[in-house]
Structure 1
């Protein structure tokens, strides 16, 4: 039988802060995390996820978190992810970055026009096709 450890709002925020600090330390110490611009919350979060997985698999203990502050912290995270990028890093991308950007534009165009064509062929309202395009992926 699985035992559950339930953390309240403050404990959950504290564990999240700890994961963030560990991620910051990891990003400073591990060169390839910096090289590939992996944000500290991501590296700390992955390590924390692996730790909770190990606790679950090895000890049979499930950790449950209070999600009250989840939306606030997710908004802060996704707002701040781009802060680590700068022109120097973008210039280093060079030709590969331009190719990736061009492919991305093509994929987005396909992602928008294909559902519209399918809805037209099926006689469905085109708004359904738009909802199936990149609009729904905008976040």
Structure 2
């Protein structure tokens, strides 16, 4: 077994997911894995970049729309959506995380992640077809 794979399987599940995704950057939605990405800034710099989040959640919605008619989903994508809906609320619940935006913004953003995860996993948007997603 290659040394890189051995190291990756010894990591906790979320860290393992990150290690596995390094090789998939060409197939990932825009904004998920690149320098200055929302997740990198949030995790490493404790900075919620509103523009990066907006870019990411729009890319996630595009993938939802593309995938909603499929009966099977790639596990790495499912894990990515699960990770976003699990990690971001957990990480941002820390009281020392800087929150320059109004609390209503963060609540709406976390709800958006939950709604997107629901759409991705079920193949059905939680909203009617006429719903217009507000910019966050």
* TM-score bin, normalised by smaller chain: under 0.3
Q: Which has the higher helix share?
A: 1
TM-score calculated relative to the size of structure 2: 0.26
Higher-Rg member (1/2): 1
TM-score calculated relative to the size of structure 1: 0.26
